[in-house]
Chains A and B, each alone.
Chain A
């Protein structure tokens, strides 16, 4: 799958040549290599047959200012090696299906095209694009293109003609395949799924090693072993969406396992027309309401009946299922109660959080907690994958420090959720809570199933650093080098890293827990968290 290689600032796309046995896949790629002035690696080929794959790498062209690195692969056609073929197809942004034009191969080739369609249908969208390469056009019994088109499914009408042995049409096939691969990269980017990471496969030796590992693990349940950049990326993204779903308060248990209540009609979003006394804080709340009520609003109901509203990409509103009232006065009573609680929890809330009682329908009122969208630490740890290690370390040091302070001061009785990287976001250098304010007697802090708050952050940081191929200790070491740095800011960060590394109990990442210095004056490794590494 396409990704932006953060090490080399290039876009990597993979083109996989698939097809029936002896259709001419290897011949095609070798002829392409000759045309591009490069070479093909064919590990452990046997009697001229591909056993693992052929590998060609070529850098050329430009995509949104990035050079395009094309990793071109062929699969082994022999059906006994089908497992390897599927592993390789998984890597593809574009599959070029080499179709043997000789008439006596027709039914076999058509069946193989159909099979490819089935395989690709199991892949996540956007699916790899397919280009058909009608090869061996020089053979006397070669099937004409027009005739083939009538036999192919409607979505396989992109057909190029070649004679691989004579190098005819090969370069054209390649450029068309690159174009299709770029279309997939664009589709991935459009849905925010184009990974920014380091390559999981640097060369053919690494691919060979993973395919061999695949052979060894065959028959086991999780047989995939060719690493895919997108997987690490999606893993981190999944953490992010998990954060999103837990930042609304935990669903109330339904009595005796009854199904959740049916989803209801979305309420009206908070309106700027609400009467006096329906907004807190009165002045700032009004200004904020004016701002976000202009933005496009999308409404989503949680399984427990709570509502979540998104206003553009910048504001979020939460409203509990039970916070819909038939009478304004009853709603106002709840608003006042919530206001008292919000004032107590002020230190942990965004100064822009506001409480609004607004019409939900023509007869009812709904109480909303609306706040600026602040990504929780969990999702911050997914971003800015391109920062150099010392910047990442500096930001992590700061996040750890702020977070550790919070572990001792978190007002459990005021906030529905316990401190965790999923509910705490950073605004400037302040930790802000992104969930509901707790209602006395109703909300009990959810049991801390995931272990102490600090360990959760350390685990996340480890996963994050691993995904970047970095080691926290190593990053801290890099950071320490900043001690002699020119700017006061980085020198301070360096000092702090030094401090962490020199304390014997902190040399293991897990031991970072409880060992960070407090908010000692002047010792802060200040990194601007809004514009810095995260």
Chain B
């Protein structure tokens, strides 16, 4: 498990590689509590966003179980009119949640930047 400092540093690296980075957090899936956060925009409420996204991931996992899908959930992508949100499962208990500006980024760039550094969060 990475330390909080390592988490913040890793998110910093993603930020560098990702034009349009808004905010990101490493989240404990069970509780929805954040293990590390970094936001470029102060008004972005990462604590709340992380909490509610943990619920979404749990729901998705439940759906997969109900459908008896023998697969693992790797990531979830949400496209808003002006933002891209990516949820990347790091291990069974934690996920990275990231928001980026859609005008200056695209899905491929977001995925690429996250995948490049995700291992350091495990």
Contacts and interface: CB of A to CB of B under 8 A. Distances in A.
A170 B32 contact: no
Contacts of A67: 51
B43 interface: no
Given A168-B3, A168-B5, A179 B36 contact: no
B10 interface: no
Interface of A: 35, 59-63, 65, 67-68, 167-172, 174-175, 178-179, 182
B34 to A, nearest CB: 7
Interface string B24-43: 00001011111110000000
B55 interface: yes
A172 B51 contact: no
Given A62-B55, A178-B28, 14 more contacts: A60-B33, A60-B34, A61-B51, A62-B32, A63-B31, A168-B4, A169-B4, A171-B36, A172-B35, A175-B31, A178-B33, A179-B28, A179-B31, A182-B30
Most buried by B among A60, A169, A178: A60
A63 B5 CA distance: 27
B33 A68 contact: yes
Interface of B: 1, 3-5, 28, 30-36, 47, 50-52, 54-55
A35 B4 contact: yes
B43 to A, nearest CB: 14
B28 A65 contact: no
Given A62-B51, A62-B54, A67-B51, A172 B3 contact: yes
A175 B35 contact: yes
Contacts of A175: 28, 31, 33, 35
27 contacts: A35-B4, A59-B47, A60-B32, A60-B33, A60-B34, A60-B47, A60-B50, A61-B32, A61-B51, A61-B54, A62-B31, A62-B52, A65-B55, A167-B5, A168-B4, A168-B5, A169-B4, A170-B4, A171-B36, A172-B1, A172-B3, A172-B35, A175-B33, A175-B35, A178-B28, A178-B31, A182-B30
By Cβ-Cβ distance, the 9 closest A-B pairs, closest first, are A61-B32, A61-B33, A62-B32, A62-B51, A61-B31, A171-B4, A60-B47, A175-B33, A175-B28
Nearest to B27: A61
A35 B33 CA distance: 13
Contacts of B55: 62, 65
Contacts of A63: 31-32
A424 B3 CA distance: 60
A178 B3 CA distance: 17
Contact of B35 (A65, A68, A171): A171
Contacts of B33: 60-61, 68, 174-175, 178
Contacts of B32: 60-63, 68
A179 B30 contact: yes
Most buried by A among B4, B30, B31, B34: B31
A59 B55 CA distance: 16
B122 to A, nearest CB: 13
A172 B54 contact: no
Contacts of B4: 35, 167-172
Nearest to B55: A62
Nearest to A68: B31
Nearest to B3: A168
Contacts of A170: 4
B63 to A, nearest CB: 17
Contacts of B36: 171
B90 to A, nearest CB: 14
A68 B33 CA distance: 9
B60 to A, nearest CB: 15
Contacts of A179: 28, 30-31
A170 B51 CA distance: 20
Nearest to A170: B4
A224 to B, nearest CB: 30
Contacts of A174: 33
A59 B30 CA distance: 15
B37 to A, nearest CB: 9
Nearest to B2: A172
Contacts of B30: 179, 182
Most buried by A among B28, B50, B52: B28
Nearest to A166: B5
Nearest to A64: B55
